[in-house]
Each structure stands twice: as C-alpha cells, then as structure tokens.
A and B are shown apart, each in its own frame.
Chain A
Amino acid sequence: MDEVKSHAHAYPTKKFFVRMITRDIDLKDCILDLIDNSVDNAWAEKGGHIMSLRDTTDLSDFEIHINITNDCFSIRDNCGGMTLDSAVDHAFNFGRKEFSPNDNYSIGVYGIGMKRAVFKIGREAEVRSTYDEGGERSSFKVPINVDEWVHDDAPPWDFDIEESSDLGENGVEIVIQELTEEAESEFSSPEFLADLRWVIERDYTLHLHKGLNIFLNGKRLTGWRVELRQSENFRPMRAEYNDISRDNEVVVEMVGGMVAPPPESVDPDEDSKGDRLSGWYVACNGRIVLAADKTETTGWGAEGFPSWHKQYSGFIGIVLFSAQNAAALPLTTTKRNVNSSADLYRRARARMQEVSRAWIDYTNQRKRDTESARHNEEASRAVSIYDIAPREQVQLPEIEKKPVVPMANVSYSVPKTKLKKLAREMGNVTMSYRDVGQKSFEYAYEDYVGED
C-alpha cells in the first residue's frame, strides 16, 4: 500500500489571497493606508510620542503628494523613507509581528496596508525609497507586477529589491499603473476626487492642524477647523483618562458639545449639512477612523438609548484613543470603523453616552421655548477643540417652561422647483423649507389680516 496521505495542503493561492484582502475595503481607505504610512514615518522622525489634543509637534517640514489621473496613481513623501533592512525584514511582509520596537504611536498595525493598496489600485507598481544611513543616502526600488507575481504560488512569497537612483528628498514614492477596473472608473469621477479630498481633510485633521502638508493633484489640503460653541450657558466637555488594553496603557481623551444650534426643521427630506457632520468621531493615534457616527457603534439606538434623530443635529463628540502599541487600539484593519466589542472601547462608549444623553435632554427641553433657546445658542462663540477647558460634563442651559400660547403646526407639500423659485425671489435660494413656509405665512397674514 502507498504511504498514507495524512496532511491536507492549506496554503492559499496568491490569487485567492489578493482577492480576499482587497475585497472588503474601500478604494479611498486603501489610499488612506498609504498616507498613514507616510504619516507614521513623519511621526517617528519627530520622536513618536503620544498625539494628544495638547501636543504641539510641528509637522510642517513634511509633505505628501498624491497624484491621480485616469491611468496612474502616485504618492510621494519626504518623511524619511524606509530603510533597506526594513524592506527586507518586514515592509513587504503580509502581517506584522505582534509588537515591534518601531511601534511608536503609529497608525499602522496590521502590516497589510501598503500591499493591499497596490493590489486594489493597479497591476503594475513600483515602490522607491531613499533614506539616510550613517550619514549616507541610499536608495532601492521594489517593482511589483501583480499578474506575474500571482503566477507562482510556491512559498516563499517575496518581491525583488533592485537598485535605484535617489529620490529628490528622503522618502518613499509609490507609482501604480495598469489600474484595476474599479480604480480606473473611480479615478475618472470628479466626485470621487472631491470625496477623497473631503475624507483626507477630515481624517487627518489633527495632523493637518500640526502643519503636515498633503497635496492632492497639486492642491494643498486644509484640515477641518472643529470648534464647539461656548458661552455662559454652554460649555463643551473635555475629559481624559487612562485605561489598559491588552496590557498596554491607552490614553482616552474626549470632547463634546454643540457645534451649531439644533435645526429648525427635522424634515427628513431636507438635506442638511449640519446633520451630516453631527455625531461622534473616533480617532486612533490621531487618525480619525469613524466620522459623524450616529449608529449603535457610538451608542445611538443601543439598548435603552434613543436612536439618532435629526433633532439632535448640532452635536459633535470626539474620542481619541492613543497608545504606543497601536494593536491595543480598537482599530479595524480597514481603519474605517472601530472594533466595538473591545472592552476598552465599550468603557469609553458608556462615557460617550452620558455626553450624548445630556444633549438629547437639552434638545427635548428646548422645545419648551425654542425662541429663547435659539437666542441663547446664537449668543455663544466658537472655541477650537484644542482650547477647550477640562470639565466632566457638557453644560447646557435649563429652559424654563414658557406660558403656553396654543400653537398650530402647519404642514403641506409643494413641488420643490416652485419652492426654490419662491425662496430665490424671497432673497435666499438656499433658505430652509421651514423659513419659506414661515415667510409665506407672514406675507399672507399681513395681506389678509394686517398688523396684529
């Protein structure tokens, strides 16, 4: 009898592997993975310390240039470059070692981002690096031809490293061509580019605030200016505590409060920017991974807690988790969400819900006297999140019950085009539906009834 076959092969094929790792991630998030790598290197150059709201590290020496055309993607940074050793030992590995000494409050953690981005974007890539070692500049390049690479499944899976001329500055340049169908089609869309810009400006707000220069097709991006409203009656909260996750110390910072008065209209059809921006933002080592969240992930609609409602628009909360070893953070591999089953995160969420709760109560209360509430709200001034004074809970005004005048709610539908024309003639084409209705009523009232 033949030798008994007692082992089944369990190696993946490269094709399967490439398909799997690129499947559940959005193209934009792959591009962000590449930015993360540049940022991580820049941050390491600056000593790799905690990036708290208080931190004042200057990143203005660093530049990241992203260029996207219909048939080519490139990213280039001057953040110091990767060394040959790092390329040989781990940069092109799939997966990182659990703890590596270069974990310096980095965003990268899973050891997959760069490779996955290449596969997602195109079939022909070249990674070039120029770096300093012992005062001398060296360079190398790693060409990747994906079709060729997937051809041979036999381990070890590796990429050839070749000699290269120096880049202008020490840094990394990645050029990707022969775009995948998805990338080709998205890159042709002006809206995709606008969205990408929006996402970068949002998710690297903290870095951009520190002066980091990111250019998209030559245009310098600016981070969001996040400001919460403050006055005698209104004060945003700002708190900080230390926690432990997977034996690592994690610093948790939280700010929350009012960015804008709650909306006058909660009509679900009326698109409001205020509502789109409201909600919770979660950052891991400075990078925003969840934005304007209104779902159970950040506590809304979780057991015993109200679901998000347009009435709550105007609220923004930000939580920052920072740890030397990013593996301790509630990051998902796509960096587009948080792992909400992590205890660290759950503890933070309970705290976040207290902040949300105060706001929910306030928006309910203010219905008693919206007019004076609005008056109060508008009297507040905007304070940058970096300048908010510590306080455990948001301060919101108590609203007295006003003697009730019986009110009638009027509601009707008209063709949108007509409403817009009327708004235009009333002097503001972007006026809210509610205001158009109100003004029309006043106009008609005055015409039919005259002065009160």
Chain B
Amino acid sequence: MPSFEKVNYSLRPSKSIQRGLVFEGLRAIKERLALADPVYIGLGSVWFSDFLMAHSALDVWDMVSIESDEIGFERAKFNCPFATVKVKKGEAGVVIQDLKNGAEYSQRPWMVWLDYDSELDESVCQDLAYLNRNAPENSVIIFTFNAHEGNYGKPAAQRRSRVIELLGRVVSEDEPPASFKNKYGAFEKRLAKAVIDHMISDAVKCGREGGAVPAFNLRYKDGSPMVTVGGILPSKQNRAAAEELVKSEHWDYISEALIAAPNLTLLEVAHLQKLLPSSAPITRQEVQTLGFDLSDEQVQSFQKYYKYFPLFAQISA
C-alpha cells in the first residue's frame, strides 16, 4: 500500500516527535557547518509534513519530493505546499541520480531524508550506497525504515544472516543471536548500529575524504518499531566540526531510548501543557488532579517531548 493511503502521519505522535528531533538536529548541522543553500530531498507523500518543517525550521527553499506511485504523483503535485518544492516521479535511486547529473543541485549540500515505511532491503541499501558515492560534500543523509524483527526472518540466527547479507561484515557471523532477538528492542538497536557502521565503512571505502559522521540514531513506535539513522558526509575541512557537534553534550539525536508517546486528545494536551515547562517532573497525581489519568511512563514521555508534539494548540487557537 502506498504510504499516502495510510493515516495522515502528522498525527502519529511518536513519529512527530522523531521528526521534530531530526529537524532540530538538521538545523544545528546547518548552522554549525554553515551550509549554504542546501537542497532538501525527501519522500513528501501527499502530506509533506517534513517539507513544511524543512522550510520553517531550516529555511530551506529548494526541495525535491520523490514519488514513484502513478496516482500518488498526481496527488503530490496537487498538494505541493510551496512554490519551491518540485515533485519528481520515479524510484528514489533513479531520481537522485538525475539530481546528481543536473547542474542545479549537484554543487549544493543535500539534506536527504528517505523516510520509508517498509523494512531495510536491498533497494534501500542501494540508495544508501548511491548517496555515499554521489551526495555532494557536506550533505546529510537520513534513512527511516521499519525495524520490526519479523521482516528480517526468524529465528534470530537467520535474522543475523539476513543483516549480514544486507550490510556485510559489520556484523559478524559468530555474534550471539541474542542481539538479534527483539527483547527490549535489542534487534532494533543492533540493526541501527549495523546500518551506521556500514555507512561509515562504506564512506571510507568509496574514498570520501571527510568520511561519514553518524548524527542520527532514533527509535520510535506508534505501531511498528521504526528506526531513523543518518549521518553527515562532511568535507575534509568540516570533519572535525561535524564530529565535535555530534559528540557535544546537547546532541540528543543519537539515543538508545525508544520514543513511544501516548496518544492524547486535544483537551488532554492542552491541560498538560499548562503545567509546562517545569524542571520538576510532573507526577501522576498532578494529572489526576487535572481530572484524568495517565501512566507514569506516559506522563514522563509527554514531559520529555511535549515541544515536539503535533501542534494542536496552533490548530485550535
């Protein structure tokens, strides 16, 4: 099913939080590396949620949305939010090659976010390889994919073989199968690490002078567990700055924690928001005094991420 057939995912809270974090990270990268005139490349679907953010949070003008579905393409053009967004028809790999070959985009840093719903497979790996080889210096490449363990075979040992098949020797055949079981998200984390290790190794292998600097590793879950990983492909001169940035204390975009936000009603959000910001943790009792109830984790999760929640207040205002 093409993704535009699914729910409007700007309403999926964990996804929104993750998106908010990614763009915050992208903004920091853009500032730190003084990226001039970047191009945003994504899979805008018919919702363009990430494109709206790219424009408002990053002040990116030129944007390219890739759509392979026939009908989706027509709808995407119809829903295109800004004059500077171009919708291109085709598979991501092919469209990206066209961008590389055209003069318009080939000399500017790219911010590519291939936000898939499907699992990591050969074609995603091919996109990754292609971007590593062709993205201009100082580009940022980000991938989101479904990390549900069942998509990678079973039992765990077979899943390990599958990951080796996809990503090569960054995973070793004698690694204990336990890390490929999904207890406490072990498999999701292992898979994310393997993709990142592969990205770094591949950048070295294809002779990128600045290599690849991992910048994103997030897990979130509205339904299926999803993983977002990505990195900067800095120029040689920018490598040190990029490394310093992602190693800094405030770099929140490489995290082991699972983003699993509660589904809240507008009314609940509005009430909870009135208690924030606050340096003390909101308690369950406080929520109960507001007249409803949430589990401790739900309260914590909301407090941690409320700024990234879908902006209900704006809509209702």
Across-interface contacts of B158 in A (CB, < 8 A)? 428-430
Across-interface contacts of B172 in A (CB, < 8 A)? 194, 197
Interface contact A191-B169, CB-CB below 8 Å: yes
A428 in contact with B153 given A191-B197, A194-B170, A420-B122 (CB within 8 Å): yes
User: Quick check: is A185 within 8 A (CB to CB) of the other chain?
Assistant: yes
User: Quick check: is A152 within 8 A (CB to CB) of the other chain?
Assistant: no
Selected contact of A186 from candidates B170, B174, B204, CB within 8 Å: B204
Considering only residues 160-180 of chain B, those with a C-beta below 8 Å from chain A are 161-162, 165, 168-170, 172, 174
User: Quick check: is A417 within 8 A (CB to CB) of the other chain?
Assistant: yes
Interface contact A198-B211, CB-CB below 8 Å: no
Interface contact B170-A190, CB-CB below 8 Å: yes
Across-interface contacts of A420 in B (CB, < 8 A)? 121-122
Using CB atoms, name the residue of chain B closest to A187.
B204
User: Quick check: is A189 within 8 A (CB to CB) of the other chain?
Assistant: yes
Interface contact B162-A429, CB-CB below 8 Å: yes
Across-interface contacts of B170 in A (CB, < 8 A)? 190-191, 194
A198 in contact with B162 given A188-B200, A190-B200, A424-B153 (CB within 8 Å): no
Selected contact of B204 from candidates A189, A428, A429, CB within 8 Å: A189
Considering only residues 151-208 of chain A, those with a C-beta below 8 Å from chain B are 185-186, 188-192, 194-195, 197-198
Interface contact B162-A430, CB-CB below 8 Å: yes
How many residues of chain B get a CB closer than 8 Å to chain A's CBs?
Answer: 25
User: Quick check: is B201 within 8 A (CB to CB) of the other chain?
Assistant: yes
A283 to chain B, nearest CB (A): 23
In the assembly, what is the distance between CA of A302 and CA of B55, in Å?
63
Interface contact A192-B204, CB-CB below 8 Å: yes
User: Quick check: is A5 within 8 A (CB to CB) of the other chain?
Assistant: no
Interface string of B48-76 (1 = CB under 8 A from A): 00000000000000000000000000000
In the assembly, what is the distance between CA of A185 and CA of B204, in Å?
6
B162 to chain A, nearest CB (A): 5
Across-interface contacts of A191 in B (CB, < 8 A)? 168-170, 197-198, 200-202, 204-205
Considering only residues 202-222 of chain A, those with a C-beta below 8 Å from chain B are 222
User: Quick check: is A416 within 8 A (CB to CB) of the other chain?
Assistant: yes
Interface contact A192-B201, CB-CB below 8 Å: yes
Across-interface contacts of B153 in A (CB, < 8 A)? 424, 428-430
User: Quick check: is B255 within 8 A (CB to CB) of the other chain?
Assistant: no
Across-interface contacts of B224 in A (CB, < 8 A)? none
Interface contact A416-B122, CB-CB below 8 Å: yes
Interface contact A189-B161, CB-CB below 8 Å: no
User: Quick check: is B152 within 8 A (CB to CB) of the other chain?
Assistant: yes
Interface string of A93-135 (1 = CB under 8 A from B): 0000000000000000000000000000000000000000000
User: Quick check: is B123 within 8 A (CB to CB) of the other chain?
Assistant: yes
A185 in contact with B122 given A191-B170, A194-B172 (CB within 8 Å): no
Across-interface contacts of A189 in B (CB, < 8 A)? 200-201, 204-205, 211
Selected contact of B122 from candidates A197, A222, A417, A424, CB within 8 Å: A417
Using CB atoms, name the residue of chain A closest to B161.
A430
B123 to chain A, nearest CB (A): 5
A195 in contact with B169 given A188-B200, A189-B200, A428-B158 (CB within 8 Å): yes
Using CB atoms, name the residue of chain A closest to B166.
A420
In the assembly, what is the distance between CA of A185 and CA of B209, in Å?
8
Selected contact of B197 from candidates A190, A195, A197, CB within 8 Å: A190
Across-interface contacts of B168 in A (CB, < 8 A)? 191
In the assembly, what is the distance between CA of A192 and CA of B168, in Å?
11
Using CB atoms, name the residue of chain A closest to B168.
A191
Using CB atoms, name the residue of chain B closest to A198.
B169
Q: What are 17 pairs between A and B in contact, CB < 8 Å?
A: A185-B211, A189-B204, A189-B211, A190-B170, A190-B197, A191-B170, A191-B202, A191-B205, A195-B169, A198-B169, A222-B174, A417-B122, A420-B122, A429-B159, A429-B161, A430-B161, A430-B162
The 7 tightest CB contacts between A and B, nearest first, are A191-B201, A429-B153, A190-B197, A189-B204, A194-B169, A189-B201, A430-B161
Task: Knowing that A188-B211, A190-B197, A416-B123 touch, tell me 18 more A-B residue pairs with CB under 8 angstroms.
Answer: A185-B204, A185-B211, A188-B204, A189-B204, A191-B197, A191-B202, A195-B169, A197-B172, A271-B165, A416-B122, A424-B152, A424-B153, A429-B158, A429-B162, A430-B158, A430-B161, A430-B162, A430-B165
